[in-house]
A and B are shown apart, each in its own frame.
Chain A
Amino acid sequence: MKAAHPEALPIAGGTDVMVEINFDRSRPASVIDLTKVAELDEWGPEHGYLRIGAGVTYTRIIDELSDRLPGLAMASRTVGSPQIRNRGTVGGNLGSASPAGDAHPPLLASRAMVELATTAGVRRMPAREFYVGPKKSAMRKDELIAAFLIEPSSGPQQFSKVGTRNAMVIAVCSFALALDAKLKRVGTGIGSAAPTPVTADEAEAFIEGVLDEGGLWEKRGELDPSALVRFGELVAAASRPIDDVRGTAAYRRHALAVLARRTFAWAWDEYRRKTTK
């Protein structure tokens, strides 16, 4: 249907699309209601990944997947309100590709894949290549987001978001962290502090180096506080924030350094506790 009507706007939970229509910011020539496509509401294991349909709501991610995807579940809990979480979907977050979307940082941190479908077949691409500009993704006009694929956590994960209150907040900035104890890898994701959701590659490489050199993964050893500070600085340096109604660029950089430092300290503490009993 999307192939036959490339101009049609797909709608799932409507938490973005309906706002555009209600405020007359866009009047799509036609819409495609994805909520009647049952396959999009399903999730299950696939070759070591979890394949999660684009229509699975935030409420279901929290209720059904918190144990396997703690980072994404934490981010999901910060989305809007119960009413919004009951309708909003990760697929919709990907479709809108807003830099402020709460699902993006954990998808980046966990190196998730996005599955795009057409009548001709499907292709999968890393989330790290999906976001190409403000509210722009690598999805083509004839494609629909079918699912995303994400590995169940193999280490502590965190998500933190800055906003003016606990609920109904568009992130001033946000940060997601995923420790992969199996591959000894660190994943990051930054929200609301660049034209797109971004990763902090240098910060990842730096802290992986520190953990490797000290043999800290094996020892479950203590991390030098100065390394945490440096990690925070490198995360802040990876952002490209602007001044806007929600906050200034300087504030966002500062806050990101704090979020990165804190979340890493929490995650590393959790990793050390888990095995030292």
Chain B
Amino acid sequence: MGRVPPENDKVKVTLTVNGRRVVADDVWEGESLLYVLRERLGLYGSKNACEQGECGSCSVYMDGTLVCACLVLGGQARDRDIVTVEGIGEGEALHPVQQAFVDAGAVQCGFCTPGLIVAAHDLLRRTPEPTTVEIREALAGNICRCTGYAKILDAVHLAAERMASK
């Protein structure tokens, strides 16, 4: 994102992020929600990689729907409710999905992990006991270049088991 935004056409965007009302200043009209989250609001959990919706590293919730933050125009997030990976756990405590990724060894370089956590969280919210096929389908938009996905599938199954037994 080395581009220099034009000086004119800067806008102010008010939105809710992880339960907090926040204001992003000087947002360029063509700026993505991902840029707003990372560069304006200092939330570096959502990762910036492909910028075309291919990799899923920037997956966040917008009004409860899983989206790629790189494909949402900053202005489109005005007055919307955003939840990033930073808002998945409760305070300092990890969410069961996050803990399962740690325990199953589903994290190597970690770059894809935030997006996968949010996407897996979205799956388990809708389908508490997913089959392996359902997990693959739900995570098809999230690319990992380290793990070969086996440990990620293990982690989602583990999270589902732990969440069911609670």
Contact = CB atoms under 8 A, between A and B. Distances in A.
Interface of A: 11, 13-15, 17-19, 21-24, 27-28, 30-31, 33, 35, 80-84, 86-87, 166-168
A82 B140 contact: yes
A83 B73 contact: no
Given A80-B53, A82-B141, A168-B141, A18 B71 contact: yes
Contact of A81 (B1, B32, B140): B140
A11 B73 contact: yes
A83 B46 CA distance: 14
B51 A83 contact: no
Most buried by B among A15, A23, A87: A87
A166 B68 CA distance: 19
A23 B71 CA distance: 12
B71 A82 contact: no
Contact of A22 (B52, B65, B76): B52
Contacts of B3: 24
Contacts of B32: 18, 21-22
Interface residues of B, number: 28
Contact of B141 (A17, A19, A83): A83
A22 B29 CA distance: 12
Given A80-B141, A86-B66, A21 B30 contact: yes
B67 A31 contact: no
A31 B72 CA distance: 13
Nearest to A18: B71
A27 B8 CA distance: 13
A-B pairs, 5 with minimum CB distance: A81-B141, A167-B140, A22-B51, A14-B71, A19-B52
Contacts of B59: 83
Given A21-B30, A83-B59, A15 B53 contact: yes
A19 B76 contact: no
B128 to A, nearest CB: 17
Given A19-B51, A22-B32, A27-B30, A81 B56 contact: yes
